[in-house]
Amino acid sequence: MTRTLVIVGYGMVGHRLAQAMRDRDVHGAWRITVLAEETRPAYDRVALSSYVHTWDAGDLTLPAVVGVDLRLGEAALEIDRVKREIITSKGERVTYDALVLATGSAPFVPPVPGRELPGCFVYRTIDDLDAIREAVEAAGRTGRRAGMVLGGGLLGLEAANALRGMGLSPHVVELAPRLMPIQVDDGGAGLLRDLVQKLDLTVHTGTSAQVIERDGQRMVVKLTSGVELDVDVVVFSAGIRPRDDLARAMGLTVGQCGGVVVDEGCRTGDANVYAIGECACVAGMVYGLVAPGYAMAEVVADRLLGGTATFPGADTSTKLKLLGVDVASFGDAHATTEGALEVVFNDAVAGTYAKVVVSDDAKTLLGGILVGDASAYTMLRPLVGRAISGDPAALVAPAGTDVALGSLPDDAQVCSCNAVTKAVIKGAIAEGCADVPGLKSCTKAGTTCGSCVPMLKQLLTEAGVAQSKALCEHFDYSRAELFEIVAGSGVSTFSELITKHGRGFGCDICKPAVASILASLGTGHVLDGEQASLQDTNDHFLANLQRNGTYSVVPRIPGGEITPDKLMVIAEVARDYGLYTKITGGQRIDLFGATVDQLPHIWRRLVDAGMESGHAYGKALRTVKSCVGTTWCRYGVQDSVALAIQLELRYRGLRSPHKLKSAVSGCARECAEARGKDFGVIATEHGWNLYVGGNGGFRPRHADLLVSDVDTDTLIRLVDRFLMFYVRTADRLQRTSAWIEAMDGGLDHLRAVIVDDSLGICADLESAMHQHVGAYADEWRGVLEDPEKLARFTSFVNAPGTPDPTISFREERGQRVPVQLGIPEVVSP
Amino acid sequence: MSVQFPLTNLLPNRGVAALLPGDVQVAVFRTSDDRVYALSNIDPFSRAAVMSRGIVGDRDGVPVAVSPMHKNAFDLRTGVCVDDPEVSLAVFPVRVDAGMVMVGAP
Ligand SMILES: Cc1cc2nc3c(=O)[nH]c(=O)nc-3n(C[C@H](O)[C@H](O)[C@H](O)COP(=O)(O)OP(=O)(O)OC[C@H]3O[C@@H](n4cnc5c(N)ncnc54)[C@H](O)[C@@H]3O)c2cc1C
Ligand code: SF4
């Protein structure tokens, strides 16, 4: 008989339970009802702060669970344990066979007078952030707007950084004498404070808010230290309290500091009621992290299906997600274990602080704290509670951070977010997972916070499957390395390159790759001399090869803007040569069905009419799509057409590892679909938001926000750097999205390099782009003006002008389409 | 010999198409060590007459031309497809004499 499971609360943990039940309950033993107080489906609360980059809740939404009766905006109000019945906020009655409380927690707001004033907020839900944003916008634009965050813990710093992202000057007020008092010690906190202040956050420690008062449109916060802050918004982030009120009303036991008391199977005193996530108290502990909550959800799913799983306890390691500030804390960070020893490395010059805590015999790692550089975190955290060989100092000494993964036992967790052990990853590698994306999809490791991705790579290397970076059998180098070799050595031909740095004659992989590198470095026309022999057929004939051996012709239409006169020329050419005509998704007109010998004639007419190559054939910039923007659209806030044209003309002809597409939208309505592009721009009232790493195609992906509200000059400078960095360092045929994903540190690293110039290469990237822009010349014009190049556009070397007898067409919907001829006989020699 | 044309029309590491009597299409290739080869111009996988437009190079030392359509490589000496030896292109006799390339029927 089917039983009914009711889950109260649809946060991250409630969602995980629903998912786990639907995955595992293959016989359909349970019907599932979810009561969710929030009006939107479950979302990634851990990533809540990233909402301020896009204000797109869709980005955070967790995958929908099918086959669940999900009641959004309907909270559980009362529960009758005897009748096993719940009364909801909509007045409905829902009965259950099993009930799981997953109500999470509520932010704690200390009783400061004035805390009820408009302009005071908590930081927990998407709605909270929307409300903060509204208040920030209402605060007007005169003078510098400011905000105060009460609480200098992990969430407080995250909230302050988010306020900064909304254009406020944030003050962080912390009662304890240091920031992140739970995770970090005094030594680490001193450095953390410096780093945080570099992000323009003002820090006040050892003090608290005494009173908040209205002051015209703003507020004044009086601190116990005597300081007064003028602010527009106040955000409370002073800790959380489990939401256990329903459980209390049901007569269930709650813990000393709150939280529904459950046993190791996550069951309350009532055999039909469970509690999981932040509202549960297991073995006296309430966990404020998502990983333990996920583990509890898995335990309950197992129990409901007849299993006997128990909650194993969880570690409370944390890594701060703030951009540019690395902080990690794990295990017994404060050395509270009897006899524990601390080894500290404090490098004031480099701005790093590292501490490990070991047992009294210095043989077991107990915990640690890293500030400034937390790269050792992924290696050290799984070692907690395990024997270490050798000197513990080696674990944190600057050169000692690469503890051999081999020494890690198989049952150690590599990915703590998803509880994936080293053994599971090794198993997946043995079964054929050969790269990080593969491991991510078959083990889930690395899919949540991403901090274990470097370890995944290392495990692949140790298993001997790390893919060779060699471009092909002719070169042992990756594309990026070849780029550096060509750029640095002045080698300007393929034959010189392969003689000096490769072997054999080359192939269809290395030749076009080198051709693209040479073109990016501005070595003349793509069909000049030896370069002509390197090009793939598309580049060789400056047109796109289609299925019957004919080509398509695509003139550039920058930004999609075109005059009626040019439209007429295109129409006449199409009619005269019988070309199939189609408007593409990239705002171009494609003309299909031209034979090799027709191409120069067609282009002669297009070039004479003022048109130029659209590079639709190349791994190059294809289109910059635009909406209509301020000129015509009643919603537009910037001139998206002008910018799209400017960008397209600037980057036309740029050869790159893969084709590049872009778009500019005139407002957040996003009619140009800019976020589906390699780089996309969306107008704001203050300037432009730049997104990078999106794509359509086989695995569509939305681009991520790189910077917001920049002016046009800054935008162009950043795009210059972005494109050049990509051209130089990406692998062959690697799209921008995969390129960013494959970077250590991902988008944050990219931002550090091209926005903050962390590698000091930006001037170089910009000047390379200037060179490209200055040297641009239309490729088709170059062919038409050069009789030697023109001569290659013949169907038959001995019978120029004779049409290819295998090409024929039929008519469909009033246009010509290709007919595929039967396969000619294959004669074996 | 059915067809001839000047070697200067054939760039090293590239191919050209030639038309033999009876609408037979040949792809003639010149490698960087200045050898000349002739194969059928019709890619057996896509059935399009495009072999002459492919990239010339080597696979493991074997001189090949790669179809621009779906990138299948063919041994220039034997016409056999390197990735799928079941499939092959017809080989045509070819030689260079006094600066002229001469191609004949197989
Ligand atoms: C800004 C921020 C950053 C964070 N960063 C991290 C991090 O880096 N790492 C980490 O591990 N954790 C982090 N956390 C904590 C993490 O988000 C929580 O541990 C996790 O979301 C807890 O999941 P939960 O399902 O138990 O609770 P929640 O996600 O809070 O979900 C509870 C849900 O139940 C609903 N609810 C409550 N009462 C009822 C009722 N009576 N009827 C119906 N519905 C009800 C609530 O509205 C809520 O939607 C962060 C939290 C925040 C706010
Ligand atoms: S994106 Fe905005 S400006 Fe552009 S067309 Fe759409 S609504 Fe108008």
Per-residue H/E/C for A571-623? HHHHHHHCCEEEECCCCCEEEEEECHHHHHHHHHHHHHCCCCECCCCCCEEEE
How confident is the model over A170-209, as pLDDT tens digits?
A: 999 998 888 888 888 888 888 888 888 888 889 999 899 9
Query: pLDDT at position A823, please?
Result: 43
pLDDT value at A828 more than 50: no
Percent of chain A with pLDDT over 70: 95
Collapse the DSSP code of A691 into the 3-class scheme (helix H, G, I; strand E, B; otherwise coil) and give the result: strand
Tell me whether residues B73 and A530 touch, CB distance under 8 A.
no
The closest alpha carbon to A799, from B77, B83, B69, B26, belongs to B26
Query: pLDDT at position A143, please?
Result: 62
- Residue A795 with chain B: CB contacts under 8 Å: 17, 19
A280, A305, A330: which is the final residue of a domain? Answer: A305
Query: pLDDT at position A808, please?
Result: 84
Residue A415 banded pLDDT, cuts 50, 70, 90: confident
Distance A69 CA to ligand 1 centre (A): 21
A12 and A94: one domain? yes
* Lookup result for tokens 């930081």: A123
Q: Is residue A743 part of a domain?
A: no
Q: Is residue A330 part of a domain?
A: yes
Residue A506 banded pLDDT, cuts 50, 70, 90: very high
CATH code of A368's domain = 3.30.390.30
A215 and A124: one domain? yes
Containing domain of residue A301, as a range? 3-104+243-305
How confident is the model over A11-25, as pLDDT tens digits?
A: 999 999 999 999 889
pLDDT value at A827 more than 80: no
Query: pLDDT at position A324, please?
Result: 63
CA B23 to chain centre: 16
CB neighbour list of residue B74: distance below 8 Å, 6 or more residues apart = B39, B51, B64, B65, B66, B67, B80, B81, B82, B88, B89
Q: Is A534 on the interface with B (CB under 8 A)?
A: yes
A147, A233 contact by CB (below 8 A): yes
A237 and A148: one domain? yes
Show the tokens assigned to A162. Answer: 């988010």
Residue A375 banded pLDDT, cuts 50, 70, 90: confident
- Residue A512 with chain B: CB contacts under 8 Å: 55
pLDDT value at A87 more than 90: yes
Q: Is residue A44 part of a domain?
A: yes
Interface test with B, best of A471, A493, A508, A806 (most B CBs within 10 A): A508
Residue nearest atom 11 of ligand 1, based on CA coordinates: A289
Query: pLDDT at position A824, please?
Result: 41
Sheet with A660-665: strands ordered across:
A621-626, A660-665, A679-684, A687-692, A704-710
How confident is the model over A98-118, as pLDDT tens digits?
A: 999 999 999 999 899 999 999
The closest alpha carbon to A390, from A343, A347, A346, belongs to A343
For chain B, residues with pLDDT lower than 50 are none
In this prediction, residues A456-473 reach a mean pLDDT of 78
Strand partners, A341: A358
Q: Is residue A638 part of a domain?
A: no
Q: Write the CA distances from A578 to A593, A693, A813, integer angstroms.
A: 8, 38, 14
Residue A438 banded pLDDT, cuts 50, 70, 90: confident
How confident is the model over A601-642, as pLDDT tens digits?
A: 999 999 999 999 999 999 999 999 999 999 999 989 999 999
Total number of domains in chain A: 6
Query: pLDDT at position A338, please?
Result: 85
Tell me whether residues B5 and A797 touch, CB distance under 8 A.
yes
Residue A29 banded pLDDT, cuts 50, 70, 90: very high
Residues written for chain B: 106
First and final C-alpha spacing in chain B: 10
- The per-residue b/e assignment along B9-29, b for 16 or more CB within 10 angstroms, e otherwise, is bbeebbbbbbbbeeebbbbbb
- Rounded-to-integer distance, Cα A413 and Cα A675, Å: 36
A328 and A387: one domain? yes
Query: pLDDT at position A562, please?
Result: 96
In this prediction, residues A406-421 reach a mean pLDDT of 75
Tell me whether residues A549 and B48 touch, CB distance under 8 A.
yes
How confident is the model over A226-269, as pLDDT tens digits?
A: 899 999 999 999 889 999 999 999 999 999 889 999 999 999 99
How confident is the model over A775-823, as pLDDT tens digits?
A: 899 999 999 999 888 988 988 988 888 888 888 888 888 898 888 655 4
In this prediction, residues A376-401 reach a mean pLDDT of 72
pLDDT value at A741 more than 60: yes
Q: Is B100 on the interface with A (CB under 8 A)?
A: no
Distance A90 CA to ligand 1 centre (A): 23
- Rounded-to-integer distance, Cα A246 and Cα A252, Å: 9
Query: pLDDT at position A826, please?
Result: 38
Which of A632, A634, A640, A643 has the most ligand 2 atoms within 8 A of CB, as the residue to mutate?
A640
Q: Is residue A697 part of a domain?
A: no
pLDDT value at A403 more than 70: no
What does the DSSP 8-state code read for residue A515?
A: H
pLDDT value at A673 more than 70: yes
Asked whether the ipTM of the predicted complex exceeds the cut of 0.85, the reply is yes
How confident is the model over A517-530, as pLDDT tens digits?
A: 998 887 778 888 88
Q: Is residue A471 part of a domain?
A: no
Query: pLDDT at position A215, please?
Result: 87
Q: Is the CB–ligand 1 distance for residue A242 below 6 Å?
A: no
* Lookup result for tokens 């590491």: B13
Residue A449 banded pLDDT, cuts 50, 70, 90: low
A386, A374 contact by CB (below 8 A): no
B62, B48 contact by CB (below 8 A): no
Q: What share of chain A is helix, strand, coil (3-state, %, to 5)?
A: 35, 25, 45
How confident is the model over A743-764, as pLDDT tens digits?
A: 877 888 899 899 999 888 999 9
In this prediction, residues A8-37 reach a mean pLDDT of 94
In this prediction, residues A766-783 reach a mean pLDDT of 92
Query: pLDDT at position A20, please?
Result: 93
A185 and A225: one domain? yes
- Rounded-to-integer distance, Cα B66 and Cα A638, Å: 48
β-strand pairing of B55-59 with A341-347:
unpaired
Q: Where are the domains of chain B?
A: 2-104
A341, A306 contact by CB (below 8 A): no
The closest alpha carbon to A32, from A94, A81, A92, belongs to A94
A232 and A122: one domain? yes
* Lookup result for tokens 């681009």: A703
Angle at A514 between CA A513 and CA A518, to 5 degrees: 120
CATH code of A439's domain = 1.10.10.1100
Query: pLDDT at position A382, please?
Result: 79
Tell me whether residues B10 and A473 touch, CB distance under 8 A.
no
Q: Is residue A440 part of a domain?
A: yes
Query: pLDDT at position A825, please?
Result: 37
Percent of chain A with pLDDT over 90: 53
How many Å is the Cα radius of gyration of chain B? 12
Residue A373 banded pLDDT, cuts 50, 70, 90: confident
Residues written for chain A: 829
Q: Write the CA distances from A443 to A259, A417, A461, integer angstroms.
A: 32, 12, 17
- Highest mean pLDDT range out of A91-95, A178-182, A215-219? A91-95
Distance A593 CA to ligand 2 centre (A): 35
Tell me: domain B2-104, CATH 3.40.50.800, correct? no
Query: pLDDT at position A399, please?
Result: 45
Q: Which atom of ligand 2 is nearest to the CA of A637?
A: 3
A548 and A491: one domain? no
Q: What is the mean pLDDT of chain A?
A: 88
State the DSSP H helix or E strand holding residue A462, giving kind and residue range, or none if neither: helix A453-462
pLDDT value at A122 more than 60: yes
- Rounded-to-integer distance, Cα A765 and Cα A762, Å: 5
pTM: 0.56
The closest alpha carbon to A463, from A437, A428, A438, belongs to A428
More confident residue, A701 or A643: A643
In this prediction, residues A49-65 reach a mean pLDDT of 88
A497 and A543: one domain? no
Q: Is A823 on the interface with B (CB under 8 A)?
A: yes
Q: Is residue A598 part of a domain?
A: yes
